[in-house]
Structure 1
Amino acid sequence: MMDNNAPATARRGGSVRNTPARVSIWSAALGVALIVAIFATPMFWLMYGQYYTFAMFMFGVVAIPAGHLGRRRGKRLDGRDRGLALVGILAGWLLLLVVALLVLAYGGLIIGQAFLFGSAR
């Protein structure tokens, strides 16, 4: 006997998709692909690093809440795609960590150049 809180498609026996979990994993995968692209195309990274960093930040920001929504929805769908949502959450936090390290590296580079050119006088 199905409970009344289950979605109508699950009661009919149809397939129910956990869309937030899938959004989370796709967003995280695209962000990780950008990290791979940094190492694969260093010249583009030097020219357009701010765009890579911003895109990684946005993919991470989308992956984390979508993953949490996917985990919550997965509870109602008998665990469907809960692991996928968890991977999206973890990869989203990894993306934000990489972005924070990149911003610190940019700042260190700018401060280092300021000291270098300031001491040349």
Structure 2
Amino acid sequence: MPNRQSQAQEDTYFRVMRILKDNPDLTQRELAEQLGVSVGSLNYCLKALIEKGWIKMQNFSQSKNKFGYVYILTRKGISEKAALTSNFLKRKRTEYEALKAEIESLSSELQSSSEDAKA
């Protein structure tokens, strides 16, 4: 079972790859803003994804990025993104079910408290 830190890292990789798939020419600053992380954190993440071979950086003269770079998912990256998507979805469904059970329990508890207060 992965620990919380590795899950957070996996989630960040997933979110970065998901955004880059549709917007490969975002600047690091724009991408960091969308993710809600610092540019330094994003740079660290992008370097890790490049080292893993999941994304590659290409020079692209038509890019809106003043440096003219785009971030492209590799074949391996596309495959890994699918696996990350599956893991992310499983984890979110588990979280949803746990939250749903807690809401039902709290609602029941609140209803019991209200009935006790009326009596």
Q: TM-score, normalised by structure 2?
A: 0.39
Q: Determine which structure has the larger helix proportion and give its number.
A: 1
Quick one: higher RCO (CA 8 Å, sep 6+), 1 or 2?
1
Higher-strand-fraction structure: 2
